[in-house]
Amino acid sequence: MMNNNASAGWKGYDCPFFTPVCRRVLSGYCQAQGFLEDELTPTAGIVYRRQNVFLETSYDSETGLNFAPTLIIGAGVGKYGEDGRPSAVPFWYLIPANLPERGYTFWKFKTEAELESVLVRVRHALLEPFAAPLLHNFDLLEKHIANFGAES
């Protein structure tokens, strides 16, 4: 059950089942790609890392109790380098605008079963076709990050 206590502020919109469901659905895929769980985000999303590349999967808590998945892929320690420039790119940026998968932020979930369904869809429709090439090609990943930084 989600905490929707308004007095709790944004913490009232936590999704307590995100981490275990994410581990169950995505950790095997990430491990097969050579990525291991490195840390949890402030909203209990998971950062998977292989050497200097990371994949962060989480959810947008600002969407209230109808959560939306978020995905970030990057190089280095975090989303921003010491110079303040992006060292990561939101996943929607990598998907061509004409593909329906670009709207993955509208794949909403409220329950564990819905989250599991969304994450299975994320794995098959997003990670396998769009992330896999970047997870194994650091130069291409850096090119996308640089393009995103120049456009933002």
| C-alpha span between 29 and 31 (Å, rounded) | 5
Q: Which domain holds residue 118?
A: 35-151
Task: Give per-residue pLDDT as tens, 4-38.
Answer: 433 344 455 689 999 999 999 999 999 999 999 99
Predicted local distance difference test score (pLDDT) of residue 25: 97
Query: pTM of the full predicted structure?
Result: 0.84
18 domain residue, yes or no: no
Question: Structural domain tally of the chain?
Answer: 1
pLDDT < 50 stretches in the chain: 1-10
β strands within the chain, DSSP E: 36-40, 46-50, 53-60, 68-75, 88-90
Strand order in the sheet with 46-50: 36-40, 46-50, 53-60, 68-75, 88-90
30 domain residue, yes or no: no
5 domain residue, yes or no: no
Percent of the chain with pLDDT over 70: 83
25 domain residue, yes or no: no
